[in-house]
Structure 1
Amino acid sequence: MASASSSSRAVMLWLLPLATLTAIDANTHAQREARLKLSQQELKNGSAVYWRGGTSGGFQVLLLDEDRGRLLIGGKDHIYMLRSDSVDLPLSTVSWTADPSAVRHCLTIGKSFHDDCANFVRLLQSLNDTHIYACGTGAFRPQCAILSIQNKEALSLLPHTITSGLGKCPYSPKEPFTARLNDGEVYAGTSVDFMGTHAAIFRTSVGAPGRHLRTEAYDRNWLNVPEFVASVAIADTHNSDDDKIYFFFREAAVEAQQWDKRIYSRVARVCKNDVGGRRSLINRWTTFLKARLVCSVPGPSGVHTHFNRLEDVFVLKTKERQNPVLYGLFTTSSALFGGSAVCAFSMASIRAAFNGPYAHRDGPDHRWFEYKGRIPYPRPGACPSKTYDALHESTRDFPDEVVSFMRQHQLMWEAVLPVGGRPMFTRVNASHLLTSLVVDRPDIGDGTTVVLFLGTDDGKVLKVVTSETEEIVLEELHVFQSGAAIRSMKISSKKVRR
């Protein structure tokens, strides 16, 4: 499933069977042209079904529920529910507009009536089999509500559930953000003001909007002008007290020199059972840590070509729920060349970075070093859990020295390197940049082959097969005639494996 940007006003569902793999030279990773190219008209006449959502458009978010055969689409002032196997007509449509007073205020601060001053739905998450949690920008006054699904086909908004969306949804429809609903709590990386100049990672409750936890405000060592990409809940051990929420984003690097505007990609994590500190870090995370994600091509003399801007993340589940494989799509901000790359990361390497040394800023020139001093107990950033610590049942029980250490040491010293030490797929100096990513692993027995579906900024989808020794561009599909960038995709694993 792919969606265009808000200007395209089109949603498309298609079936992409796995092609037969053909052996190629195992020693080459040279960039190749696609073996099969399909134009937008050929695709439309063949396997693709298109649905256009009237005049509202503004599609922002997709929620695919394969078990119940439904697809929800959040747009401008509307939420649509369709059958996942036939998207030609919506089963049900809900109108959810912004409050008129919010629209008037939005216009007075200089925003556009068509592009900003409406309720752009940015978050759709399942609460249970019959209820959906939704959040929208509300004409720069974020709001959230619960949707009810009756008789599997009737979608309705419950007006009495409408609450403030602060800390759950951004003010702007254009602002990058991420949110994840888990056990009745919303974990979100989003802005905290309508100007979009400050952002934080929040945890708020669906049932109790006043309760929240967040990163420290106005401290760039925690977050430094972040642009959020994705978030996911991952179990750490078989003990649920160790469960964590991971956030992926890019930000201005605090490690760089004062005038260096370098951008780094990050993975951060917080413990689900974090409740803040008792005397310090009250209503603040006491377990927030972040590390750098590196996706680079090794070069001569130790010089690396870095793809520094994280654009998308896909989590591929494995038989062990604690150890999914994380795939990141990166681009480069280099002025010398343009390109995109896909890197795979193991949870083992991510956990190793968070279990490794902390970064420390000290000295007369305030440079960053590896921290080699005494580390307090329990280890800062660890969850209160009997797995590692039987003495502390809550983060409010942590010793003051642990909380004090966490106020100054959010950054890990060692970066997270990709599987194999290099990208699994690159696209350099092409006519397009890659913008979105979904991944499937075919059942062919070798355990290393994966299929990448890569959206581009000119409305195409590339289907790429990669393994430890091969990369083959099988198909290039021209999805959108207008050439709008593909910003979001969902994959139907059930249909792919038919």
Structure 2
Amino acid sequence: PADSSERAVQRFEAPGVSNYTALLLSPDGGTLYLGAREVLLAVDTSRFQPGPPARRLPWSAETEKKRQCAFKGKDPQRDCHNYIKMLLQLNSTHLYTCGTCAFSPACAYVNVQHFSLEREASGKVLLEDGKGRCPFDPEYKSTAVMWVSLECRACRLGAVRAGWAPCTPSREPRVRGAMLRAPVPPDPVFVGSAYLRESLPAGNPEGDDDKVYFFFSETGKEFDYFENTIVSRIARVCKGDLGGERVLQRRWTTFLKAQLLCSHPDDGFPFNVLQDVFVLTPGATRWRETLFYGVFTSQWSKGGLGGSAVCAFPMHSVQKAFAGLYKEVNRETQQWYTDTGPVPEPRPGMCITSHTRHLKINSSLQMPDRVLNFIKDHFLMDGAVRSQPLLLHSHARYQQIGVHRAQGLHGTYDVLFLGTDDGRLHKAVHVNHKVHIIEEIRLFRAGQPVL
């Protein structure tokens, strides 16, 4: 149990603070940053409680924004506040944060040393438009990933329904504001994102680009069933994607998505709703050994029971799906089918590589129109990334997953931490292609979900 003397579970709770929706651990592990409703907190991880109170940084939505929010018919108590949804490490001195700001999303910079919001010369908080980076609705899930471009000393942000701007020289580590967009349907539920250094090792003959991966669930338009079928997806874009010159201007030219299929080995019962994902990479140069761990539930019940599954997808399976055939939609019938026709050269959706450079194509802006016109209608891959459950649990609905690779006497093994919707934490070990639960801890007495 959580209160057992054998298991020390540290708790943190700040009086008057609710809706902890963003968490970020500092690179040294010494500080946990929390984004909540109208406040940011910095907590010393070595002493949650008892101890000195956490550093608090209020960030409320402006009064006028709250008034406009209520005027639009939103609930003043529930919707018209600033729910902090994003916390990212910009560099060693600053965090980048975004909040809903009463249905008018905005982003700001946090000075880590002083734990304060950066301000303009006039003293006003330095804010950036958060549209495309942060959701309007506090209930909406989002994900974001950031990296620093050494060539121009600027930062780029890939977020839900958004992308990044062309790299321009800058002395300030500012996040570029122009957005590139992807053909994303109106109903996706994003659960995670990851940035993989697929250009490494330096000087490799492929000369590939780094990639950003997104993980989400959405209604599968390719399935012609009587009821809407939810499908889990993995999508990717290339880091250097600048959009097209004439076709797909200011839109992603490398956006591809494929189905993540986690199904029961005996009867094929699908766990089709992705709840969370953890990307385990042994090291930057060993990205080919990446494992994508996911926790899934199903929109259907089996035997009257709800349940969960844990599946793992190796990088080579993901690459195989993205290198396969494309799907295309018939615009008259709105039905999807496998396109077996000829594919333009260079292959649509690929990054700038040694191969494209050999063809005198050094940027997405130089991609031929025929390639970009093809990808406009062929962003969905035909083949799924398939896996069978490593763990099935009929009496738990997993909401979160974290994975730690540990060194044992007989090699390495992966330790999984699985949070349930009723406040429990399962510790499990992945050995011999199976996952075994070795410990259960109840974190919350009232049965709140582990988010």
Letter in 1 for 2:350: A
Letter in 1 for 2:277: V
Mapped pair 1:181 → 2:119: no
Q: Tell me which residue corresponds to 1:30.
A: none
Mapped pair 1:63 → 2:63: no
Distance 1:413 1:123 in 2: 33
* Root mean square deviation, CA, Å: 2.1
How far apart are 1:108 and its partner, in Å?
A: 2.2
Contact conserved, 2:162 with 2:179, CA < 8 A, in 1? no
Contact conserved, 2:297 with 2:308, CA < 8 A, in 1? yes
Structure 1: 5+ residue stretches without partners: 1-37, 190-199, 217-221, 488-498
Q: Tell me which residue corresponds to 2:393.
A: 427
Q: Aligned to 1:57, what secondary structure does the other structure show?
A: coil
* Equivalent of 2:64 in 82, 101, 106: 101
Q: Tell me which residue corresponds to 1:130.
A: 93
- Superposed CA offset, 1:66-105 (max 9, x none): 4262110111111111122222244421111001111112
Letter in 1 for 2:290: P
Mapped pair 1:168 → 2:133: yes
Q: Aligned to 1:350, what secondary structure does the other structure show?
A: helix
Q: Tell me which residue corresponds to 1:325.
A: 291
Distance 2:263 2:7 in 1: 38
Distance 2:273 2:98 in 1: 27
Counterparts in 2 of 1:204 and 1:170: CA distance versus 1, 3 Å: farther
- Superposed CA offset, 1:155-200 (max 9, x none): 11113321111111001111111111222111111xxxxxxxxxx2
Contact conserved, 2:253 with 2:364, CA < 8 A, in 1? yes
Contact conserved, 2:156 with 2:175, CA < 8 A, in 1? no
Structure 2: 5+ residue stretches without partners: 121-125, 149-154, 167-172
Contact conserved, 2:390 with 2:433, CA < 8 A, in 1? no
Deviates more, 1:276-285 or 1:238-247: 238-247
Q: Tell me which residue corresponds to 1:231.
A: 193
Contact conserved, 2:74 with 2:80, CA < 8 A, in 1? yes
Q: Tell me which residue corresponds to 2:170.
A: none
1:29-48 aligned within 5 A? 38=1, 40-42=2-4, 46-48=7-9
Contact conserved, 2:133 with 2:162, CA < 8 A, in 1? no
Contact conserved, 2:211 with 2:236, CA < 8 A, in 1? yes
1:370-385 aligned within 5 A? 370-385=338-353
* Equivalent of 1:416 in 381, 385, 388: 385
How far apart are 1:49 and its partner, in Å?
A: 1.8
How far apart are 1:447 and its partner, in Å?
A: 4.9
- Superposed CA offset, 1:331-357 (max 9, x none): 011044411011011111101110111
Q: Tell me which residue corresponds to 1:369.
A: 337
Contact conserved, 1:62 with 1:71, CA < 8 A, in 2? yes
Letter in 2 for 1:288: F
The percent of aligned pairs where both chains have the same amino acid is 35
Distance 2:131 2:118 in 1: 19
Q: Aligned to 2:386, what secondary structure does the other structure show?
A: coil
Counterparts in 2 of 1:244 and 1:90: CA distance versus 1, 3 Å: farther
Mapped pair 1:82 → 2:49: no
Distance 2:248 2:145 in 1: 23
Letter in 2 for 1:223: P
How far apart are 1:127 and its partner, in Å?
A: 0.9
Contact conserved, 1:449 with 1:468, CA < 8 A, in 2? no
Deviates more, 1:106-115 or 1:70-79: 106-115
* Equivalent of 2:115 in 135, 152, 155: 155
Q: Tell me which residue corresponds to 2:307.
A: 339
Q: Tell me which residue corresponds to 1:253.
A: 220
Q: Tell me which residue corresponds to 2:365.
A: 396
Counterparts in 2 of 1:258 and 1:456: CA distance versus 1, 3 Å: closer
Alignment TM-score, normalising by the size of structure 2? 0.88
Q: Aligned to 2:320, what secondary structure does the other structure show?
A: helix
Q: Aligned to 1:351, what secondary structure does the other structure show?
A: helix
Distance 1:446 1:121 in 2: 44
Letter in 1 for 2:104: R
Q: Tell me which residue corresponds to 1:215.
A: 182
Distance 2:295 2:86 in 1: 22
Q: Aligned to 1:483, what secondary structure does the other structure show?
A: coil
Q: How many residues are treated as equivalent by the alignment?
A: 422
Contact conserved, 1:318 with 1:325, CA < 8 A, in 2? no
Letter in 2 for 1:79: L
Contact conserved, 2:100 with 2:134, CA < 8 A, in 1? yes
Q: Tell me which residue corresponds to 1:145.
A: 108
Distance 1:469 1:280 in 2: 46
Distance 1:462 1:456 in 2: 8
Letter in 1 for 2:365: R
How far apart are 1:295 and its partner, in Å?
A: 0.6
Counterparts in 2 of 1:447 and 1:416: CA distance versus 1, 3 Å: farther
Q: Aligned to 1:50, what secondary structure does the other structure show?
A: coil
Letter in 2 for 1:165: G
Distance 1:364 1:97 in 2: 48
How far apart are 1:393 and its partner, in Å?
A: 0.8
* Equivalent of 1:442 in 406, 409, 412: 406
How far apart are 1:368 and its partner, in Å?
A: 2.7
Distance 2:409 2:306 in 1: 36
Q: Aligned to 1:304, what secondary structure does the other structure show?
A: coil
Deviates more, 1:283-292 or 1:81-90: 81-90
Q: Tell me which residue corresponds to 1:35.
A: none
How far apart are 1:202 and its partner, in Å?
A: 3.1
Contact conserved, 1:237 with 1:322, CA < 8 A, in 2? no
Contact conserved, 2:157 with 2:176, CA < 8 A, in 1? no
Distance 1:177 1:326 in 2: 19
Contact conserved, 1:147 with 1:156, CA < 8 A, in 2? yes
Mapped pair 1:482 → 2:427: no
